[in-house]
Structure 1
Amino acid sequence: MNKLITLLVFTLLATNLSFAKEVKVDIDAKRTESAYINLASPEVVLVDNTNWDLSFMTGVVDGSVRINDGQGVRLWHVTDGSIADFDAPLDTNGKFETWTELLNSTDVWQIGAFNLGTDGFETGTGDYGWGQYAQTVITGSELFVIKLRNGEYKKIAIDELSAGTFYFFYSDLDNENQESKEFVKSHFSGKLNGYFDLQKGESLDREPAMDQWYLEFSKYVQIVEGQGVTQPYPVVGVRTNRGVKVAQLDDVDVIDTPLPNKEDFSSIITEIGHDWKELNFSTFEYEVIENRVYFVQRFELQNQNGEPVEVPVGELYKLVFTGFEGGTFTYELADPTLSVNQTSYDNSKFAVYPNVISKNETVNLVYAGSEVGQASLSIYSSTGATVHTQDVNLTQNIQISNINTADFNSGVYFVRIQKGNSIYTQKFVVR
């Protein structure tokens, strides 16, 4: 994996979540790379997306097998055959019109193209599409035809998942060049997926550890609507890691955005997806959807009174896309706050007046919140630079009027008071 620390251009985004970095992610114009984003850094890890055909989930109960649909890999279910027919030559004449073409789920990682739309663990049926769970083993039953990245067609079957190892075989359609391979989950411990190159017959370790990324920027296939037709189509978009949820807020102020409620968060891995941008058919350039904000939060299951409860953990991140051109995404990422149920904002209790002043005039701040005691006060410029800090002792109806703007350049400024988990923010303009 090649690591690229992105150039961070500090710009203002949202005072509710402190100030933002503009992040540039380049997966090249041909979309041949995937970019994994760790929002805590934010570090971007770029990896080749053209060197694999299959991916296998590595969790203990996972039986997901996905295809590299973004790079042209396709899969069909041989509905008039089974794994028992693998050793016989396969006649495909006229069959692609009758066989079912299979797609990866864009809702969950646990359902790949080979899973025929079902996760045997989640449903409790033990049906994983390519095979059926019985006691300690998933036994394969289905036969598939796969089109590889290089355009070759192969027949393929997943024979078994036993003791953490997938066993599978594939060959030419006429039964020549048969290969039997295995994929061992434990070789990819801590990863969401491991990968396999059917052309070289080898496993690949190509993604960061699960705790090192939140978002994947990549090319993948999505069901889309266009000109009255719904069909699978390759798109360039964003998918979330397992355990990461996203809240999408539309028609909001991207600067002073309200925090989402817990029920606003979705576990769909393409909740951000590709539709934050639209192609302008007059200019043939992509335009970002205005007034849309995404909040990103990790969640995990915790035991509460003997019951598993999903709770937010770690920090809450706010993301606003600012552009897309070729294979380059740009977005603004606000500095993190505490998780969604840990931080409170009430800007109605904090005011700045006048909110438009001339240089050398004094800024008057009035605080009428319920928090009392020592707090921090900071003023930021529109470049994200801190231009003033001081400690304040909060009491109800306190007025702070000793902030002179003689050294402030003309522009927009943001004032932030923070005490514990409570944050108050307002803005003013220096002419």
Structure 2
Amino acid sequence: MKKLLTSLTLLLVATFSFAQAVNDSVMLGAQYANQVWYSLANDKQGTSAKNNWDIAFEINSITSSILLNSANGNTLWVYPKSDITGWSTIDTTGITTWPKLYNSDLAWEMGAFNVNIDPFDAADLGWGVYNTSNHQVVGDSLYVIKLSNGAYKKLWIEKLANSTYTFKYGNLDNTAEETKTIAKADFTGKNFGYFSIQNGTQVNREPLAANWDLTFTQYTAFVPVAYTVSGVLTNKTTGTVKVYPVNDPSTYKDYASQTFGSTINTLGWGWKTYNMTLGAYVIEDSTVYFIKDGNDDVWKLIFTGFASSNGKFVFSKEKLTSSVGINAPVKNNFFTLYPNPASAGAVSIVMDMAADATVNIMDMGGKVLNTQTLQGNGLSTHALNTQGLANGLYMVQVAMGNQVFTQKLAINQ
């Protein structure tokens, strides 16, 4: 019986490991006019004009992230001269010196409206504060937004209550003020609900979150300053890892020894560089990406070409495993940090461990500051190494087997 099971296992692994690679491409159009959502299993799932929205509201998460369409030329500032009581007296003198706000390219949960978060207030979401009594988020910040058409608007995200965002905007001279809402129920199953301030309308532009793995688009990256790039971001439920250097990318399939992460820009834009001599983009060689989709199937992706004239991404994809009984990940691993924010002394990490884990503490730019290894022993408590960390906001990343979990940690000693 053991021999029969072993043979069956080898047959299944061989079947999935040597699936045929498929060549495919995604085109954004001239001047990267569109955004495309893509499923590794089912190909293109949707296309929408990149300039048909200005702000977007998170639908299916407690982080209440709000995005800015900076790739369309919009610019956002938090108003530094007053709280919400200054709505009628907005003064933009000195606006060129105000810090501009951008979406993080590491996580969908950190939009431009969230980056001014108070790291020492667990209830603060950046644009507003969570009320534990009525479970509403109340907006406490004013913003100035410069739209792609050159118009300046004042903007206030007033609240999130009963699964509905309420916000208002208007001209700086207090004319043409509008109050609008985005109801989560209107975007059920989506990651975000979109809104065009220029047109005053909701935009239902992305496919169901369960139906896509990658989105090909323009977005703001930090290289190291903010810069608009054309690249690939991954869905919230998609795990990714980049392997470099690889002697023969066409045959390399060792995903099992890799650690998959949830950072959305792992594929990103850096796999291509423009060669001035050739007058064309050159693709990074010796590179393989492994992607675990929402069904926990593992794919291999290799970029093979890029054309800027029509925004064409060319790549090969290959399904390496099926989610049916092969390398299925443990779903219930978790960790908790306390105290958080940490005001003094040690920080404890409580984990339900099925295996040994590597813990990294990173700054918000993704630089690893401290690393430690914890032994797996079921539900257990460990001391987190915070030595040498200054006051501020950090990311704690736990890698266990092929899974990666991340939480924020605030230190205020």
Query: 2:350 is matched with which residue?
Result: none
Query: 2:298 is matched with which residue?
Result: 316
| Change over 3 Å in CA distance of 1:199–1:152 after alignment to 2 | same
Query: 2:103 is matched with which residue?
Result: 104
| Alpha-carbon distance, 1:62 to partner | 3.2
Contact map agreement 1:140 1:158 (CA 8 A) in 2: yes
| Change over 3 Å in CA distance of 1:342–1:80 after alignment to 2 | same
Contact map agreement 2:17 2:319 (CA 8 A) in 1: no
Query: 1:282 is matched with which residue?
Result: 277
Contact map agreement 1:25 1:44 (CA 8 A) in 2: no
Cα distance in 1 between the residues matched to 2:21 and 2:54: 37
Q: Structure 2: which amino acid aligns with 1:139?
A: V
Query: What SS is found at the alignment partner of 1:23?
Result: strand
| Alpha-carbon distance, 1:48 to partner | 1.2
| Change over 3 Å in CA distance of 1:124–1:341 after alignment to 2 | farther
Cα distance in 1 between the residues matched to 2:260 and 2:117: 23
Pairing 1:6-405 to 2, within 5 Å after superposition: 16-88=17-89, 90-97=90-97, 99-116=98-115, 118=117, 125-135=122-132, 136-224=135-223, 230-252=224-246, 253-261=248-256, 264-298=259-293, 313-326=295-308, 327-339=311-323, 342=326
Query: What SS is found at the alignment partner of 1:211?
Result: helix
Superposition RMSD on alpha carbons, in Å?
A: 2.3
Cα distance in 2 between the residues matched to 1:323 and 1:338: 27
Cα distance in 2 between the residues matched to 1:325 and 1:60: 36
| Alpha-carbon distance, 1:110 to partner | 0.8
Cα distance in 1 between the residues matched to 2:258 and 2:140: 39
| Change over 3 Å in CA distance of 1:211–1:164 after alignment to 2 | same
Cα distance in 2 between the residues matched to 1:55 and 1:154: 16
Q: 4+ residue stretches of structure 1 with deviation over 3 A?
A: 14-17, 117-120
Cα distance in 1 between the residues matched to 2:299 and 2:28: 22
Cα distance in 1 between the residues matched to 2:50 and 2:305: 22
| Alpha-carbon distance, 1:336 to partner | 4.4
Pairing 1:404-415 to 2, within 5 Å after superposition: none
Contact map agreement 2:233 2:267 (CA 8 A) in 1: yes
Query: What SS is found at the alignment partner of 1:233?
Result: strand
Cα distance in 1 between the residues matched to 2:275 and 2:92: 41
Q: Between Structure 1 and Structure 2, which shows a larger proportion of strand residues? A: 1
| Alpha-carbon distance, 1:43 to partner | 2.8
Contact map agreement 2:239 2:291 (CA 8 A) in 1: yes
Q: Please, what TM-score do these two structures have when normalized by structure 2?
A: 0.71
| Alpha-carbon distance, 1:208 to partner | 0.5
| Alpha-carbon distance, 1:29 to partner | 2.4
Query: What SS is found at the alignment partner of 1:236?
Result: strand
Cα distance in 2 between the residues matched to 1:208 and 1:149: 25
Q: Structure 1: which amino acid aligns with 2:242?
A: Q
Q: Structure 2: which amino acid aligns with 1:91?
A: D
Contact map agreement 2:88 2:174 (CA 8 A) in 1: yes
Query: What SS is found at the alignment partner of 1:70?
Result: helix
| Alpha-carbon distance, 1:258 to partner | 3.3
Contact map agreement 1:28 1:328 (CA 8 A) in 2: yes
Superposed CA offset, 1:295-352 (max 9, x none): 11036xxxxxxxxxxxxx43111110000001000000113422599269xxxxxxxx
Query: What SS is found at the alignment partner of 2:32?
Result: coil
Q: Structure 2: which amino acid aligns with 1:34?
A: Q
Query: What SS is found at the alignment partner of 2:185?
Result: helix
Q: Please, what TM-score do these two structures have when normalized by structure 1?
A: 0.68
| Alpha-carbon distance, 1:260 to partner | 2.1
Q: Structure 2: which amino acid aligns with 1:212?
A: N
| Change over 3 Å in CA distance of 1:184–1:279 after alignment to 2 | same
Cα distance in 2 between the residues matched to 1:119 and 1:27: 37
Greater gyration radius: 1
Superposed CA offset, 1:350-409 (max 9, x none): xxxxxxxxxxxxxxxxxxxxxxxxxxxxxxxxxxxxxxxxxxxxxxxxxxxxxxxxxxxx
Query: What SS is found at the alignment partner of 2:179?
Result: strand
Count of residues in correspondence between the two structures? 309
Cα distance in 2 between the residues matched to 1:68 and 1:117: 17
Cα distance in 1 between the residues matched to 2:121 and 2:128: 14
Structure 1 gap ranges (5+):
1-13, 225-229, 300-312, 345-431
Structure 2 gap ranges (5+):
1-14, 329-413
Q: Structure 1: which amino acid aligns with 2:48?
A: V
Contact map agreement 1:38 1:212 (CA 8 A) in 2: yes
Contact map agreement 2:36 2:44 (CA 8 A) in 1: no
Contact map agreement 1:24 1:328 (CA 8 A) in 2: yes
